[in-house]
Amino acid sequence: MSDDSQAAAGDSPRTAAARDDASTCLMESHHREENQTKPCEYDPNVNQDELIMAQEKQIAEEIKANTSMVGSLAGLGSLEEEYSNDPVYSSKVRTLLPKFSNVRRTRPDGNCFLRGFIFAYLEYCIHHRDELARFKKYLEGSKEELFDMGFPKFTTEDFHEMFMEVVSDLEGSGSVGRVEAVCNDAGTSDYLVVYLRLLISAHLQKNAEFFSFFIEGGRTVEEFCKQEVEPMYRECDHLHIVALTAAVGVGVRVMYLDRGEGAAIVSHDFPEDKEPIIHLLYRPGHYDILYKA
C-alpha cells in the first residue's frame, strides 16, 4: 500500500493537522510553478484540513482538465527525453529500449493502474477473439457472484451492464480507435473502473483468510476494501494487482522504474505462473502502458 493511502485511511482531523505545514507547502509549490503564487505562509486562523482538501481538489481538477484518461501512443524515446536531466532514470529507460518500443500514458488520478489494465486488455482482446469470448463469459457470471457476496444489486447491475455493452460492442466493431474512445469517455471509463474495483474487493474478501496477513493497521479485509479498494481514485498497490489478475485470469508484467542501484529494471509478473499479456511501467505512484518491441 502506498504511504499516502495508509496516512489517509488512518488520519483523524487532529493527526492530519499535525502534517498541515508540509502538505500545504507541497501543494502550493505546485501552484507556484504554474501560477507564480505567493510563498506558503502558515495562518493559524485558517482550517488547515479544509485548505489541504481544497488544494488537493484544485490539483485534481487541473490534472483532469489537461490530461487524457489514456493518452496517445508515443515512442519510448519520449521517456528518455523526459528524464534527460536525470542520469539514474535515463539510464534505466535506455535498458527498456531493446524490449519495448512505445508507451501510452494514463491520467495520474489514482485510477491509473485500472485504466491502464482496461485499455491494454481490451486492446489485446480485439486482436485475440478467443480471449474476448473468454472474458465475456467471465463477466457474465461475475455479477451473480457479487450479488451473493452482498454487493448492492441496483448499482452493481448498472456497472456490470456497461461493461457487458462495451465488450459486446468490441465483438462487432473492435478497433484500437474504438478502445481509445471508450477509455476516454468519462462516463463509460469510470463505470469500468468501478466494476474492476468491485471484482478486486470480492476476490480479497472471498480469500480473506489469506489476504488478512498482508493488511496493515489492524484492519479487517472488509475494512481495507471499503477504504482502499472500492472508492474511486484510491491508488492500487500489490494486493490490488494480485487480486485482479487472479480474479480475471489475466497475466500482467510490471516494470519498476525507480532509483534502485544499477541500470537494471526489476519486473514482477502477476500471477507468477501466467504468461503476461499486459505490460505496465511503474514509476512511484503511477502506472503507464508499455508495448513490446
> Above 80 in pLDDT, residue 145?
yes
**Which is catalytic among the residues 11, 109, 190, 269?**
109
Please compute Rg for the chain using Cα positions. Answer: 20
Q: In what order do the strands lie in the sheet with 266-270?
A: 70-75, 100-106, 286-292, 278-283, 252-256, 266-270
> Above 50 in pLDDT, residue 25?
no
**Which is catalytic among the residues 112, 183, 225, 236?**
112
| Active-site annotation holds for 273 | no
The H-or-E segment that residue 241 falls in is helix 238-248
Domain spans, the chain = 3-66, 73-292
Per-residue confidence band for 264, with pLDDT thresholds at 50, 70 and 90: confident
Confidence (pLDDT) at 18: 36
Of the listed ranges 26-40, 180-194, 241-255, the least confidently predicted one is 26-40
| Architecture of domain 73-292 in this structure | Up-down Bundle (1.20)
- DSSP SS3 for 78: helix
| Active-site annotation holds for 4 | no
Confidence (pLDDT) at 260: 84
* Mean pLDDT (the chain, rounded): 85
Confidence (pLDDT) at 173: 80
> Above 70 in pLDDT, residue 5?
no
**Which is catalytic among the residues 203, 240, 279, 286?**
286
- DSSP SS3 for 291: strand
Q: How many CB atoms lie within 10 A of CB 7?
A: 13
Q: Which is more confidently placed, 12 or 157?
A: 157
Give the list of residues 6+ apart from residue 180 with CB closer than 8 angstroms, or none.
70, 119
SS (H, E, C) 156-210: HHHHHHHHHHHHHHHHHHCCHHHHHHHHCCHHHHHHHHHHHHHHHHHHHHHCHHH
Average of pLDDT values for 200-219?
A: 96
Confidence (pLDDT) at 53: 58
Q: Is the pTM of this model over 0.85?
A: no
pLDDT digits over 236-252, tens only?
999 999 999 999 999 99
| Active-site annotation holds for 279 | no
Confidence (pLDDT) at 113: 98
> Above 90 in pLDDT, residue 1?
no
Please state, for a pLDDT cut of 70, what percent of the chain lies above it: 78
pLDDT digits over 78-131, tens only?
998 999 999 999 999 999 999 999 999 999 999 999 999 999 999 999 999 999
pLDDT digits over 31-80, tens only?
333 444 444 566 667 676 666 656 555 655 655 555 799 999 999 999 98
Give the list of residues 6+ apart from residue 217 with CB closer than 8 angstroms, or none.
6, 9, 10
Q: What is the dihedral of CA 188, 190, 194, 199, to 10 degrees?
A: 60
Confidence (pLDDT) at 239: 97
In whole angstroms, what is the distance from residue 111 CA to residue 193 CA? 7
Average of pLDDT values for 186-206?
A: 98
Residue 58's identity, in one-letter code, is: Q
The H-or-E segment that residue 20 falls in is helix 20-35
Which grid coordinates belong to 221? 479485509
Which grid coordinates belong to 143? 455479477
Please state, for a pLDDT cut of 90, what percent of the chain lies above it: 73
φ, ψ of residue 188 in degrees (nearest 5): -70, -50
> Above 70 in pLDDT, residue 226?
yes
